[in-house]
Amino acid sequence: MRVAILGCGYVGLELGRQLAERGHEAIGVRRSDEGIERIDAAGFAAVRADVTAPEDLTAVPDVDAVVFAASSGGRGAAAAREVYVEGLDAAVEAFGERETPPDRLVYTSSTGVHGDHGGDWVDEGTPIEPTTEKTEVLAAAERLALDRPPEYGFEGTVARYAGLYGPDRYRLDRYLDGPVTEGYLNMVHRDDAAGAVRFLLEEDLARGEVVQVVDDEPVSKWAFADWLADECGVERPPKRTKAERLAAGDLSAAARRRLLTSKRCSNGKLRSLGYEFAHPTFREGYRAAVETYRRGETP
């Protein structure tokens, strides 16, 4: 199987490594020198192209599958729309109009599209209720990823990621130093974020569907912070309620909406499809970081 990974960053690099290790041909697509160097270092093919520019994508060879994993770089809703909607649409058209189009597309989205559910469980059947301009863009991109590819004879899948963590993204200080504001964490380790997409491609599953990619155990931020402190051998951090955080008066409107968004994301569908997690919960996923921290090193 030959797979093009458009926007081959944090998860895409791991996906490419996993595909290559299993005998597939991965092609990472980035536009910067640094991005190309990282793909080369990861040990699979690199193509320099801007994923939002259809003319650039002519440099990417024909593939069996396209994974759209581009990032807007943490910028606002306008930049997000340029990448996730306009860029995705342009990529679908660019590959779809080829003499040999791909067989399928996987678009990586975010569980942020769910909005607020008061701490209740959500799954793929729960109506999405985006609460920010950016998550509204992500919701629009999900619809496009499912609706647009069939116009060109192939199918799309949405892999809806929870909060990503892993090497270089453990952010221990945030929870060890505090104060930690109440709420739920829905997480997935980078290796499983990549592994789930690799699994769906290899097993040819979830065509035309959404799959939530989240680990087995959403956890209270307070409980997680206390567990992490205990494991690292330090004092448990101070806590604050949402009301206390809001009273500080230093939140943007978007940050305020995020603070008030609470849910627990189920991975029942991914589990039922047969995926086995390398890191089923934060306990396994943070083990390497904890051990590094206890040695006095930075994870």
Q: What is the DSSP letter of 29?
A: E
Q: Under DSSP, is residue 260 helix (H, G, I), strand (E, B) or coil?
A: coil
pLDDT digits over 200-217, tens only?
999 999 999 999 999 999
pLDDT digits over 102-114, tens only?
999 999 999 999 9
Phi, psi of 174 (to 5 degrees): -60, -40
Task: List strands edge to edge, sheet with 25-30.
Answer: 45-48, 25-30, 2-6, 65-68, 104-110, 155-161, 210-213
pLDDT average per 10 residues of sequence, the chain (299 residues)? 97 98 97 94 96 91 97 77 92 96 97 92 94 90 97 98 96 95 96 98 98 98 98 97 85 76 95 98 98 92
**Alpha carbons 227 and 134: distance in angstroms, whole number:** 32
Domain layout of the chain by residue ranges? 2-167+187-219+265-284
What is the C-alpha end-to-end distance of the chain, expressed in Å? 34
- Domain 2-167+187-219+265-284, what fold? Rossmann fold (3.40.50)
pTM above 0.85, yes or no: yes
